[in-house]
């Protein structure tokens, strides 16, 4: 299936992580992209990663596969095709994290009947807030929390300027802010080469953009925005430690919304909140900010695995748990996972 045909399938499901370009991006960083297509309406973009020391690999469909999970026959047909590929590649398991609502019992039962089990770890956020941007600008503004509206007006009053910029220098400016943000909030980020590849393969393909907010000519906030199908995603965001009281983040997102509306997109996915937010959750501040948009909270079933050999799968998970906990402790000074519930 060629790039355009594949993207037509992925875009009909509004899944940027199932796009052809997302597979290309991941191939630059240690993955191999595989694509299985059945009938033009059903398929799976699968990322394959070799495991160190053993002659096996893992398969993963981020926000996939692309199938009607209520059609058990079609789902079984697709999973049988995945199993054939898994056997050829020597896969330990196949992981998925589709946008199935957590209370969708029929879809969940269909997955379990095919051997899927709940994964111990999430890859993509299990919960998000999605804003309907088909409303008018006045309606959208009225739907924001009052403090959010106030902060937009404050940023405008303080002469915060927001610019769209997809140059390589914009990536570098953004990354300088991102390093500050990761240090402040204790999370790990990719090297700058990753975001330059995002620009090259995704942004330059017309599937997103970059916005930077300035005070004078000093960048104080930035976002990477993806756009595909009917949806726009706020995937990566960063801000400086200075001038945060000028509220550049509120204004930058208002500009993103207006940009998306002008281009006919219908949804703004704010990409990632705690599934069960509490005051002591590491992402409580992120949740409070995203809640200010007035969008709809959606909770998905999270990651599910189809093991190909349960004993080896269990040993792998035990080894991975030890490795990731040690890595988190060294890099972030804590064992907790920000994607946790």
pLDDT at 331: 47
Can you give the pLDDT at residue 146? 98
The span from the first CA to the last CA of the chain, in angstroms, equals 38
- Return the residue matching tokens 């804590």: 334
Q: How many residues does the chain have?
A: 341
Q: Would you say 293 and 135 are in contact if contact means Cβ atoms under 8 Å apart?
A: no
Q: DSSP letter at 23?
A: H
> Helix 3-12 vs helix 20-27: angle between axes, to the nearest 10 degrees?
110
pLDDT band at 330 (very low <50, low <70, confident <90, very high): very low
DSSP 16: G
Q: State the average pLDDT over residues 41-45.
A: 97
What are the tens digits of pLDDT across the range 207-220?
Answer: 999 999 999 999 99
The pTM assigned to this predicted structure is: 0.93
Q: Maximum distance among all alpha carbons in the chain? A: 61
Give 310's pLDDT tier (boundaries 50, 70, 90).
Answer: confident
Q: Where are the beta strands (DSSP E) in the chain?
A: 32-37, 43-50, 57-61, 91-96, 117-118, 127-132, 161-164, 208-215, 218-228, 231-239, 267-269, 296-299, 304-307
**CB-based contacts of 273: which residues, under 8 Å, 6+ apart?**
125, 127, 128, 129, 283, 286, 287, 290, 291, 297
Tokens of 280: 């002591």
Residue 91 — pLDDT band, cuts 50, 70, 90?
Answer: very high
* Cα distances (angstroms) measured from residue 105 to each of 129, 212, 284, 303, 315: 21, 42, 29, 15, 29
Q: Which pLDDT score is estimated for 311?
A: 86
Per-residue pLDDT band at 325 (split at 50, 70, 90): very low
3-state helix, strand, coil in the chain (%, to 5): 45, 25, 35
Confidence of residue 151 (pLDDT cuts 50, 70, 90): very high
Q: Which residue has the tokens 């209520």?
A: 70
* pLDDT value of residue 324: 54
List Cβ neighbours of 170 (8 Å cut-off, separation of 6 or more): 210, 212, 222
The confidence score (pLDDT) of residue 329 equals 39
- Please state the rounded mean pLDDT for residues 275-300: 95
Beta strand spans in 51-195 (E): 57-61, 91-96, 117-118, 127-132, 161-164
Domains of the chain: 3-125+301-332 (3.40.630.30), 134-265 (3.40.630.30)
Using left for φ > 0, alpha for ψ between -120 and 50, and beta otherwise, residue 114 falls in alpha
Closest by CA to 295, choosing from 253, 323, 330, is 253
- Return d(Cα 45, Cα 24) in angstroms, integer: 11
Residue 187's pLDDT band (boundaries 50, 70, 90)? confident
Looking at the chain, the whole-number percentage of residues with pLDDT higher than 70 is 94
pLDDT value at residue 1: 82
13-25 burial string, b = 16+ CB within 10 Å, else e? bbbbbbbbbbbbb
């Amino acid at each position: 299936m060629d790039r355009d045909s594949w993207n037509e399938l992925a875009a009909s499901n509004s899944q940027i992580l199932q796009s052809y370009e997302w597979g290309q991006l991941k191939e630059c960083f240690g993955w191999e992209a595989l694509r299985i297509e059945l009938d033009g309406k059903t398929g799976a973009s699968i990322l394959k990663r070799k495991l160190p020391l053993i002659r096996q690999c893992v398969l993963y469909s981020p926000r996939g596969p692309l199938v009607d999970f209520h059609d058990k026959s079609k789902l079984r047909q697709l999973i049988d095709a995945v199993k054939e590929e898994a056997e050829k590649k020597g896969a330990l398991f196949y992981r998925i994290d589709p946008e199935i609502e957590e209370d969708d019992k029929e879809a969940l039962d269909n997955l379990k009947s095919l051997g899927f089990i709940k994964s111990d770890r999430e890859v993509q956020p299990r919960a998000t807030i999605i804003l309907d941007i088909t409303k008018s600008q006045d309606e959208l503004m009225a739907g924001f929390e009052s403090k959010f509206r106030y902060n937009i007006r404050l940023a405008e009053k303080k002469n915060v300027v927001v610019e769209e910029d997809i140059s390589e220098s914009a990536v570098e400016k953004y990354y300088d802010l991102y390093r500050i943000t990761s240090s402040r909030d204790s999370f790990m980020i990719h090297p700058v080469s990753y975001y330059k590849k995002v620009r090259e393969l995704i942004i330059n393909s017309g599937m997103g953009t970059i916005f930077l907010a300035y005070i004078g000519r000093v960048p104080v906030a930035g976002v990477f925005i993806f756009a595909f199908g009917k949806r726009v995603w706020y995937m990566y965001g960063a801000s400086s430690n200075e001038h945060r009281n000028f509220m550049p983040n509120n204004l930058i997102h208002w500009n993103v919304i207006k940009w998306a509306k002008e281009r006919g997109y219908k949804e703004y996915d704010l990409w990632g909140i705690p599934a069960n937010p509490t005051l002591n959750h590491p992402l409580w501040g992120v949740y409070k900010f995203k809640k200010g948009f007035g969008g709809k909270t959606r909770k998905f079933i999270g990651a599910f695995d189809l093991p190909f050999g349960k004993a080896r799968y269990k040993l792998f998970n035990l080894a991975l748990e030890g490795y990731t906990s040690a890595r988190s402790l060294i890099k972030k000074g804590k064992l907790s996972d920000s994607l946790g519930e």
